[in-house]
Structures are given as structure tokens and as C-alpha cells.
Structure 1
Amino acid sequence: MSVEPLRLEPFVSSDDATKALASLGLESATLTTSVLRGVRQAQNVTNFHPVTARGFVQWSETVGALREQLNEQEWTQADPQNSPRVFSPDGLTSIMVIGGNANTALSKDVIPGTARRRGPATDAAVQCNGQQVLDLVFELPVVKQTQVPLTWVLLYHWSRDEPVVRAELSLPAQITNGDITQWTQRIILPPIDLSDFEISRRPIGPQDDVDFRIVELP
């Protein structure tokens, strides 16, 4: 399969995000709306729920909102290794949703990571990305079909100390000990205003999404 050489700016600010997202067939509003739905649904979690409920609800509702909106644009969904993704109509792009750490969507000088260590599904996707990016940068004539699509991450962070949710759509290139440590491109999304939320209702417990391990039973 012949693929054009990759030309990606390492960092794209929110002011310039529209063009970068358009090249992927995406709009900023689709992504920010998905993240906002996750946050709002997580507000229904009470102290009577398990301590991990808020983070799980926020993550799963973000996944659901993203898939629902992109389904209307002929994107498709699948769950490789039980890890939920959404795939572009041309099959060259996929997106996974992950909770990010406090460095998420701050600046080009601060490298974000994941809120919690990731499992084998994320590891496999990032390793594939890293190899494919190298192939494309060095303009190798053929990239194996098994190496596409490139898997992007919708990374979000919500802190009780800020009345906003910060998010970015970024292409991971390296993962070390379960944490993404290198990104080929980061597209920063506009911050999502949460000033109408009560501070006491902002998240106070674990805010992790879920990764999966597939174990073959004897």
C-alpha cells in the first residue's frame, strides 16, 4: 500500500486547530462536545458510587458521544482487544479516548502523559504508530496494510482546581512502562468552560479511563 510522506507540525495551537483537524476529516466542536458530555454525565455520580465510577462514567460517555457524532459522518466503530475506537471512512485514521495528566493541552513546552498506566491495547497501537511514522518520515515506498490506521488519542484532563476541561487530539509515537512519552503531533483544542459548575462537584476521585487485558484461559 503506497502512502504519501508524513508532514505533521509537532504542535498545533487551538487557534490553528481547524485546518489540522480538517485534514483528518474532523471538527473541533465534535471533539469538545464529546468531552463535555462526559463531564456532564459524570456529575450524576454520587458519594454512594464506587470511587472509580466518576472517571469511568466520564470516559465511557466521552467515547459514546464521539462515536455517535462521527457515525453520522460515516466513521465506524470497533473494539480491537476490547479497546473502543472509531475509524475514519478511508480506514487511515482511528481515535481512542484516554484521560490525560495535568500536562494535557497546556503548551508545546510541556509534554502530556496519561492519567494512569496503559495496558497492552494502547501499547500495541502506539508501537504501531511509532514504526509507521518512521517508515513515512524516511519515505519508504510501501507501508504494510497491517500498520494502518494511525491511532490518534483524544486526551482530556479535568481538575477540581480549574473551571475548564483541557483536551487535545494527539498522535502518540512512543510508550514507556504504560505511559505515552512521545507525540508526533499535538492538536490543542479550545478549553471547555465549566464556570457554571459548582466547585464542590468537580472531580475528587480517580479519573481514569479503562484499558483491557486479553487472557487466554487454559
Structure 2
Amino acid sequence: MTSEPLSLEPSISSADAPYTLELLGLDSDVLMNAVVRGVREAQNITNFHPVTARGFVQWSETVAALRAQLSEHNWRQADPQNSPRVVSPDGQTSIMVIGGNANTAVSEDVTPGTARRRGPSTAEAVQCNGQQMLDLIFELPALRQTRKPLIWVLLYHWSKDEPVVRAELSLPAEILDGNITQWTHRIFLPPADLSDLVISRRPAGPQDDVDFRIEELP
């Protein structure tokens, strides 16, 4: 791996995504397969489930599918503050899964946001990225061991009124009042066709996960 800077444009089209993702040790099919798995599994929710079930199942199944696929490529899972991540073999790239709003993967001219307000674990993740530089740096081996991983977000959006699910792998730069408002880099993924999806009846409710912390009582 080169120690020279890897220059990335702020927005990378789905056509150019495969090359960029390869440099990060990723594949667009793996990412979109995880997103599609989440949507399909969420269709098993019925009116007997809690109203928050569909969003939670879609998110959790996406996380599980992403981790399972990347584990075959020596990525490892981590759960800081009960916030699930998957971390690259060299420890320099981390990915968290978040549901996005309707602006997700629409256009480089439209800034996406999160579907729901995020909790402290997401805020800390964005702050960990700090003042993001415009270039991703592949550092010398001696220095790479001391750098914390850049935390990317697999941002997805699906609506029962659309025949596709959209997603992007993006690097968050700023979070305000629980909403991610700025991104340093956005890698658009090819949308996945879900026109064959049989949509189940279910109660309306939040479509995203809820940050929470589990603490042992004294």
C-alpha cells in the first residue's frame, strides 16, 4: 500500500465507486447486499409487532449482513458504547450503519441527513473524525498504528413508495442537535431494484435505530 496521499473528490458517482471502494478494501455489491437484506427482512414485521420494529429490524439486519460479509475479508466487529461498527483489518477504517432521510444518494447537490436524531455514540464518532482533511492519507506503517480509524457511515434510504433502495458510503464531518449536517466525502452506490418486493402490512413508526446504552444496575 502506498504512503502517498489518496485524493478523493467530495462526491464520487456510482460509476466511479468501485475503484474508490477497492482502495478502501470494500465492494459496492457487499454494501448494497447488506442494505437490501435489511429492507427484505423488515417485511416480516406485522401489525402485532411494536411500532418501532420495522425500523429496528431493517437497521439491525443491515448491520448483521454487513458484518457477516466483511468478516470473510478479515474485517472485525466492534461495539463502542453499544454502537455497532465493523473495522478494517488494518484498523484504519470503521463503518457504522445509519438510516438516512429522503436526500440520501440523490445528488451531489443535495446534502443528506439522518432519518432520526442520533445519540451520543454517533456524536462521538463524528467528533472523532475531527477536522477532516480533504484527502484520505495512507500513512507510513509506523504512524498508522497511532491514528484512530476514520468512521464512515453506510447511509441508506428506502420508502414503500419507491421501487429502489438508495445508499451511499459517506464520511461525516459535522453533527448538530443529533443530525449529521456535513460530509467530507460521499461515495454513491448503485441503487438496488426492489420492484419485486411484497410489502407487508405493518404499523407506521420510526424507520431508524435508537441509540441506547446498557448499564448494569448496582
Q: TM-score, normalised by structure 2?
A: 0.88
Query: How many corresponding residue pairs?
Result: 214
Q: Please report how far the alpha carbon of residue 9 of structure 1 lies from its aligned counterpart in structure 2 after TM superposition.
A: 0.9
Residue in structure 2 matched with residue 171 of structure 1 by the alignment: 171
Gaps of at least 5 residues in structure 1 are none
What secondary structure is seen at the aligned counterpart in 1 of 2:171? strand
2:211 is matched with which residue? 211
Separation of aligned partners in 2, 1:203 and 1:165: 20
- In structure 2, what residue type is equivalent to 1:172? P
Q: Is the contact made by 2:47 and 2:201 (CA closer than 8 Å) also made in structure 1?
A: no
Structure 1 residues 156 and 96: CA distance shift in structure 2, 3 A:
same
Secondary structure (helix, strand or coil) at the match of 2:187 reads strand
Aligned to 1:12: 12
Q: CA deviation at 1:164?
A: 0.8
1:120-159 equivalences under 5 Å are 120-131=120-131, 133-134=132-133, 148-159=148-159
**C-alpha distance in 1 between matches for 2:193 and 2:130:** 34
Residue matched to 2:104: 104
* SS of residue in 1 equivalent to 2:15: helix
* Map of 2:69 onto structure 1: 69
Cα distance between partner residues in 1 of 2:144 and 2:24: 20
CA distance in 1, matches of 2:28, 2:134: 29
Query: For the Cα contact (< 8 Å) 2:152–2:171, is it kept in 1?
Result: yes
CA deviations 1:79-138 (Å, max 9, x no partner) are 01110000000000000000000000000000000000111111111011133x24978x
Judged with a 3 Å threshold, the aligned counterparts in structure 2 of structure 1 residues 130 and 136 are, in CA distance, closer, same or farther, namely farther
Aligned residue identity for 1:47: N
Q: Which residue of 2 aligns with 1:196?
A: 196
Q: Supply the AA of the counterpart residue of 1:50.
A: P
1:7, distance to aligned residue in structure 2 (A): 2.3
Report SS of the residue matched to 1:14: coil
For structure 2, the 5+ residue unaligned runs are none
* Structure (1 or 2) with the greater helix fraction: 1
Q: Is the 8 A contact 2:114 2:180 kept in 1?
A: yes
**Superposition CA RMSD, Å:** 2.7
1:80 aligns with: 80
- Three-state SS of the structure 2 residue aligned to 1:38 is helix
User: One-letter code of the match for 1:126?
Assistant: V
2:5 and 2:172 mapped to 1: Cα distance? Answer: 17
| 1:131-189 CA distance string (max 9 Å, x none) | 3x24978xxx9989665100000000011221111100001011111111111110111
Q: How far did 1:201 drift?
A: 5.3
Q: Supply the distance in 2 between the matched residues of 1:66 and 1:93 (Cα, whole angstroms).
A: 14
TM-score of the superposed pair, with normalisation by structure 1: 0.88
Quick check: 1:128–1:147 contact (8 Å CA) kept in 2? no
Partner of 2:53: 53
Percent identity, please. 73
1:32 equivalenced with 2:32 (yes/no): yes
Aligned to 2:7, what secondary structure does the other structure show? coil
